[in-house]
Amino acid sequence: MDKNKNFDNWLDIHGISRREFLKYCTATAALLGLSELGFATRIADALEAASKKPPVIWLEGQDCAGCSISFTGSLNPPAASIILDKISLRYHEAIMAGSGHLCESTCHDTIQGGGYILVVEGSIPLADDRFCMVGGRPFKTIVEEAAQRAAAIIAVGACAAFGGIPAGGPTRGIGLNKALPGKTVINLSTCPVHTDHLVGTLLYMLVAGKAPALDKIGRPKAYFGQVIHDNCRRRSYFDEGLFLEDWNDPKQKDWCLLDKGCKGPDTYSDCPIRKWNDGINSCIDCGAGCQGCAEPDFYIGMAPLFTAMGERSQNILARKKAGLIPKMETT
Amino acid sequence: MRKRIVIDPVTRIEGHLKIEVEVENGKVKDAWSSGTMARGFEKLLRGKDPRDAPFVTSRFCGVCFSVHQLTSARALDKAFGARVPWGGTLLRNLAMGAEYIYDHVLHFYHLSALDYIDIMAIANYTGKDKGLLSVKDKIVGLVKARDTYPLTPRYKPDEFCVRDPDVVISAVKHYIDALSMNAKARNMGAIFGGRTPHYQSIVVGGFTQYPDINMVAKFRSMLDEQAKFVNEVYIPDVLAFGTGPLFPLAKMGLGGGHHNYLSYGALEKDPEGTDLVFPPGIIIEFGPNNGKVHPVDQAKITESVKHAWYKEEKPQHPYNGAQEFDLDRTGAYSFVKAPRYDGLPIEVGPLARMLVAKDQTLLGLVKQGAKPGAVARHAARAIETKLVVDACSKWCDDLLEAMTKPGFKIHDTDHWEPPAVGMGAGFYEAPRGALGHWVRIKDQLIDNYQAVVPSTWNASPRDEKGVRGPYEEALIGVPVPDTDNPINVVRVIRSFDPCLACAIHLIDPKTNEIRKFIVE
Quote the ipTM score: 0.93
Q: Considering only CA atoms, which of B453, B309, B452, B381 is closest in space to residue A171? A: B309
Indicate whether A67 and A202 sit together in one domain. yes
Looking at the complex, report in whole angstroms how far the Cα of residue B96 sits from the nearest Cα belonging to chain A.
16
Single out the catalytic residue among B42, B51, B58, B61.
Answer: B61
Smallest Cβ–Cβ distance between B43 and the set A169, A246, A281 belongs to A169
Which pLDDT value is given to residue B326?
85
pTM, full prediction: 0.91
Q: What is the pLDDT of residues B262-286, one digit of tens each?
A: 999 999 999 998 999 999 999 999 9
Indicate whether A263 and A144 sit together in one domain. no
Stated length of chain A: 331
Indicate whether A83 and A211 sit together in one domain. yes
CA A64 to chain CA centroid, Å, is 15
Size of interface A-B (CB pairs under 8 A): 303
What average pLDDT does chain B have?
91
Smallest Cβ–Cβ distance between A286 and the set B49, B194, B490 belongs to B194
The angle at the Cα of B117, spanning B113 to B119, to the nearest 5 degrees, equals: 105
Over range B118-128, report the average pLDDT: 94
Q: What distance in Å separates the CA atoms of residue B258 and residue A48, rounded to the nearest whole number?
A: 54
Indicate whether A113 and A45 sit together in one domain. no
Q: What distance in Å separates the CA atoms of residue B351 and residue B404, rounded to the nearest whole number?
A: 38
pLDDT band for position B35 (cuts 50, 70, 90) = confident
For an interface test with B, give the residue of A81, A243, A281, A282 to mutate (most B CBs within 10 A).
A281
Domain span at residue A230 reads 226-331
Beta strand pairing status for B445-452 and B421-430? Answer: unpaired
The residues in B 323-342 lying below 8 A from A, measured between CB atoms, are 323, 325, 327
Residue pair A119/A63 in contact by the 8 Å Cβ criterion: no
Contacts of B208 (CB under 8 A, 6+ apart): A247, A260, A286, A287, A288, B194, B200, B201, B410, B411
Looking at the complex, report in whole angstroms how far the Cα of residue B282 sits from the nearest Cα belonging to chain A.
29
Which residues of A are annotated as catalytic?
64, 67, 159, 191, 229, 232, 256, 262, 271, 283, 290, 293
Inter-CA distances, B245 with A253, A268, B160, B164, B376, Å: 54, 53, 7, 10, 14
Nearest CA in chain A to B145: A50
Q: Do B40 and A74 touch (CB under 8 A)?
A: no
Q: Which of A161, A193, A223 is the last residue of a domain?
A: A223
Residue pair A172/B42 in contact by the 8 Å Cβ criterion: no
- Burial (Cβ within 10 Å: 0-12, 13-18, ≥19) of residue B144: exposed
Query: In this structure, is residue A1 part of a structural domain?
Result: no
Smallest Cβ–Cβ distance between A287 and the set B85, B119, B210 belongs to B210
Sheet (strand B17-24) strand order: B27-35, B17-24, B2-7, B518-519
Q: Considering only CA atoms, which of B91, B208, B55 is closest in space to residue A257? A: B208
Indicate whether A308 and A237 sit together in one domain. yes
Q: What is the pLDDT of residues B159-203, one digit of tens each?
A: 899 999 999 999 999 999 999 999 999 999 999 999 999 999 999
Indicate whether A72 and A211 sit together in one domain. yes
For an interface test with B, give the residue of A282, A286, A299, A302 to mutate (most B CBs within 10 A).
A286
Using an 8 Å CB-CB cutoff, list chain A residues near B9: 93, 99-100, 103, 134-135
Using an 8 Å CB-CB cutoff, list chain A residues near B191: 280-281
Q: Domain-by-domain residue ranges, chain B?
A: 2-519
Which pLDDT value is given to residue A330?
60
Q: Do B39 and A171 touch (CB under 8 A)?
A: yes
CA A194 to chain CA centroid, Å, is 6
Looking at the complex, report in whole angstroms how far the Cα of residue A103 sits from the nearest Cα belonging to chain B.
7
Indicate whether A113 and A149 sit together in one domain. yes
Indicate whether A311 and A169 sit together in one domain. no
Looking at the complex, report in whole angstroms how far the Cα of residue A12 sits from the nearest Cα belonging to chain B.
18
- Upstream peptide bond of B9 is cis (omega within 30 degrees of 0): yes
Q: Which of A205, A223, A241 is the last residue of a domain?
A: A223
CATH code of the domain containing A308 = 4.10.480.10
Over range B73-87, report the average pLDDT: 98
Single out the catalytic residue among B161, B392, B396, B499.
Answer: B499
- Upstream peptide bond of B197 is cis (omega within 30 degrees of 0): yes
Tell me which range, B154-158, B229-233, B249-253, is most confidently predicted by mean pLDDT: B229-233
For an interface test with B, give the residue of A81, A103, A259, A277 to mutate (most B CBs within 10 A).
A277
Indicate whether A194 and A241 sit together in one domain. no
Q: Do A130 and B507 touch (CB under 8 A)?
A: yes
Q: Which of A223, A256, A284 is the last residue of a domain?
A: A223
Which pLDDT value is given to residue A20?
47
Beta bridge mates, B263: B281
Q: What is the pLDDT of residues A283-313, one digit of tens each?
A: 999 999 999 999 999 999 999 999 999 999 9
Query: In this structure, is residue A3 part of a structural domain?
Result: no
Q: What distance in Å separates the CA atoms of residue B200 and residue B309, rounded to the nearest whole number?
A: 33
- Burial (Cβ within 10 Å: 0-12, 13-18, ≥19) of residue A215: middle
For an interface test with A, give the residue of B20, B182, B198, B201 to mutate (most A CBs within 10 A).
B198
Residues lower than pLDDT 50 in chain A: 1-18, 20-22, 24-25, 28, 31-44, 46-51
Contacts of B115 (CB under 8 A, 6+ apart): B155, B161, B487, B490, B491, B494
Is B157 part of the contact surface with chain A (CB cutoff 8 Å)?
no
Residue pair B158/A244 in contact by the 8 Å Cβ criterion: no
Smallest Cβ–Cβ distance between A287 and the set B48, B209, B516 belongs to B209
Q: Do A129 and B509 touch (CB under 8 A)?
A: yes
Using an 8 Å CB-CB cutoff, list chain B residues near A283: 194-195, 200
- Topology classification of domain B2-519: Cytochrome-c3 Hydrogenase; chain B (1.10.645)
Q: What distance in Å separates the CA atoms of residue A102 and residue B37, rounded to the nearest whole number?
A: 21
Using an 8 Å CB-CB cutoff, list chain A residues near B49: 303-307, 310
pLDDT band for position B15 (cuts 50, 70, 90) = confident
The residues in B 389-418 lying below 8 A from A, measured between CB atoms, are 408-411, 413
pLDDT band for position B322 (cuts 50, 70, 90) = low
Looking at the complex, report in whole angstroms how far the Cα of residue B30 sits from the nearest Cα belonging to chain A.
19
Inter-CA distances, A4 with A204, B134, B491, Å: 18, 35, 40
Q: Do B62 and A291 touch (CB under 8 A)?
A: no
Smallest Cβ–Cβ distance between B59 and the set A64, A90, A277 belongs to A64
The better pLDDT of the pair B322, B181 is held by B181
Q: What is the pLDDT of residues B327-356, one digit of tens each?
A: 888 888 887 889 999 999 999 999 999 999
Indicate whether A188 and A266 sit together in one domain. no
Q: Considering only CA atoms, which of B430, B256, B436 is closest in space to residue B337? A: B436
Q: Is B161 a catalytic residue?
A: no
Which pLDDT value is given to residue A26?
52
Using an 8 Å CB-CB cutoff, list chain B residues near A130: 327, 506-509
Quote the percentage of chain B above a pLDDT of 70: 95
Contacts of B324 (CB under 8 A, 6+ apart): B43, B310, B311, B312
Indicate whether A320 and A251 sit together in one domain. yes
Indicate whether A218 and A142 sit together in one domain. yes
Query: In this structure, is residue A2 part of a structural domain?
Result: no
Q: Do A299 and B410 touch (CB under 8 A)?
A: no
